[in-house]
Structure 1
Amino acid sequence: MDLSGVATSELERFQTALMGHRFGFPLSRLALRGEGMERLAEEVLALNTLGQDGVLLLLGAVLAERRNGTRRPELVWTGPEFRWSGARDTAVVLADLFHKAANTVLLAGFAFDHAAEVLGPLHAALRRGVTCRLFASAHVAAGFLREHWPFGPPFPECHGFSPDKGVFASLHAKCIVVDARWVFVTSANFTDRGQTRNIEVGVLLEDSHLAAVLEAQFSTGEWFTRVA
């Protein structure tokens, strides 16, 4: 059985579901897929061979190793997929990051739309007390709360990028840093197309050093000005 392609968040959800007796043994592919656990559904025969106690022991060992060791980067993808894929869905990863945020979110983006679906989980995080700094090109940042934030307070802190006079440039990066721990870098804009329809590729890492370096790139840049 190979669980290396299964995201840690999926293994944690599976562990919680088993401990809460939401799944009965033998497991079924249909039940696992109904919970969005497509990768685990492919291993259902091996899981049933271990039995519930064996699976819980295995999950505990795998999760402990991941927490104590170096986490592998996770491939994040928007678009059509093969029946089996080791990639995670872009929209799912984005929502999961906002849901797990406990303290801070840094969000940098080029284009935004469909805020209710794409950014709704971020607003929920802010309501829990999370703070967010948003970075975008100056004209996007200046109109962000009016055009892309239909929720009302609390609001993200908006910073705009303005290139030097005569230089044609924009903030084209799309990335998120959560709790100075998780880093998500993606080609996908924070739009319906980018999250659900285009072919987009990204990577998710749990790396506090990279998180600190990336936050510093935005936080110390003289080219960013707070606009809201």
Structure 2
Amino acid sequence: MARNASSEHRLPQLLGALCERLPEDRIAAVEHIFEMATGPDDVLVSRFIADQSAAGLAHQLTEIIHAWRAEAPGLTGAGLALALATARSSPRPKPAQVVISGPLSASVPARLTSGVVIEVIRSAATSLLIASFAAYGAQDVVEEIGDAVDRGVQVDLLLEESTQASAAFRKLPKEVQVWHREGAPGVLHAKLIAADRHTAFLGSANMTDRAFFENIELGVLLRDPRLVEPLVEHFHWLLAPGSGVMRRA
């Protein structure tokens, strides 16, 4: 009986999907576990999977183990680690990723808002653009922004004046530029973090501890410059003196 063609290629597809989801250091950690494993039923692997807290990641890794056992039972852990390393090194477009705050679903791959915010800020090499309607607490984020300034990143904070959001960032260096909406009936309600022109996080979450850890929030992480550049250009236009939309605080 002929095997289903899609099942024959399930393991490579699952490894590729894992590489698309995780940053380099996390993929390297998975490779290390696979390399030490004797096979798909090694307790080392099952313990590693059980320790994963990111939404849907344990399920994703379990699917890889099931495919390893069904499709390549003779493949060593070192062999699987090499396959994952090969997939990681192959250039591929990075798809958008779902980002959430609140309850986690065990079967839906998603990432947590708090971790994504830090990751995007750390990825900035030259510029960081942040827009938020409200801001309160979020000291880890404030510290990361300060670290970005220390490494020479230009930071622009677009904040809603009526919520006094700028108070959350008062300890940041003077090099940080804070912007408010210029006299208009509407408010600045956008939530965006853009690193350079390559990565952006946008969604419903404000820059607050409740939005990062308690509320039910939804967002998306974009790592495609073709999508990120128009976002950055739009906000640069908003900040331009001739637009009359934003003013320096």
| TM-score, L = length of structure 1 | 0.81
Shift, 1:88, TM fit:
0.6
Q: What is the one-letter code of the residue matched to 1:101?
A: A
Aligned residues: percent identity?
A: 25
Which consecutive residues of structure 1, in runs of 5 or more, have no partner in the other structure? none
Aligned residue among 135, 141, 144 for 1:121: 144
- Give, in whole Å, the separation in 2 of the partners of 1:88 and 1:62: 21
Matched, 1:186 2:203: yes
**Contact kept? 1:218, 1:224, Cα under 8 Å:** no
Q: What is the one-letter code of the residue matched to 1:113?
A: Y
Shift, 1:41, TM fit:
4.1
Shift, 1:128, TM fit:
2.0
Matched, 1:58 2:80: no
SS at structure 2 position matched to 1:119: helix
Which residue is 2:213 aligned to? Answer: 196
Q: What is the one-letter code of the residue matched to 1:156?
A: V
SS at structure 1 position matched to 2:134: coil
**Contact kept? 2:36, 2:78, Cα under 8 Å:** no
- Give, in whole Å, the separation in 2 of the partners of 1:9 and 1:85: 12
**Contact kept? 1:29, 1:44, Cα under 8 Å:** no
Q: How does 1:129-148 map to 2 (within 5 A)?
A: 129-139=152-162, 144=166, 147-148=167-168
SS at structure 1 position matched to 2:197: coil
Change (3 A) 1:45 1:69: closer
- Once the two structures are superposed, residues 143-176 of structure 1 have per-residue CA deviations (whole angstroms, 9 ceiling, x without a partner) of 72xx212544264211111243xx2x10100011
Point out the more displaced range, 178-187 or 207-216. 207-216
- Once the two structures are superposed, residues 32-55 of structure 1 have per-residue CA deviations (whole angstroms, 9 ceiling, x without a partner) of 454656335423455685433322
SS at structure 1 position matched to 2:36: coil
SS at structure 1 position matched to 2:25: helix
Greater helix content: 2
Matched, 1:224 2:246: yes
Q: What is the one-letter code of the residue matched to 1:157?
A: Q
Which residue is 2:131 aligned to? Answer: 108
- Give, in whole Å, the separation in 1 of the partners of 2:34 and 2:68: 16
- Once the two structures are superposed, residues 169-204 of structure 1 have per-residue CA deviations (whole angstroms, 9 ceiling, x without a partner) of 101000111121012111111111111111111111
Aligned residue among 216, 222, 226 for 1:205: 222
- Count of paired positions: 219
Which residue is 1:29 aligned to? Answer: 46
Point out the more displaced range, 70-79 or 36-45. 36-45
**Contact kept? 1:6, 1:86, Cα under 8 Å:** no
Matched, 1:69 2:92: yes
Q: What is the one-letter code of the residue matched to 1:153?
A: P
- Once the two structures are superposed, residues 57-114 of structure 1 have per-residue CA deviations (whole angstroms, 9 ceiling, x without a partner) of 322333244xx33221101111112223301111111111122222211111111111
Task: Pick the structure with greater CA Rg.
Answer: 2
Shift, 1:135, TM fit:
0.8
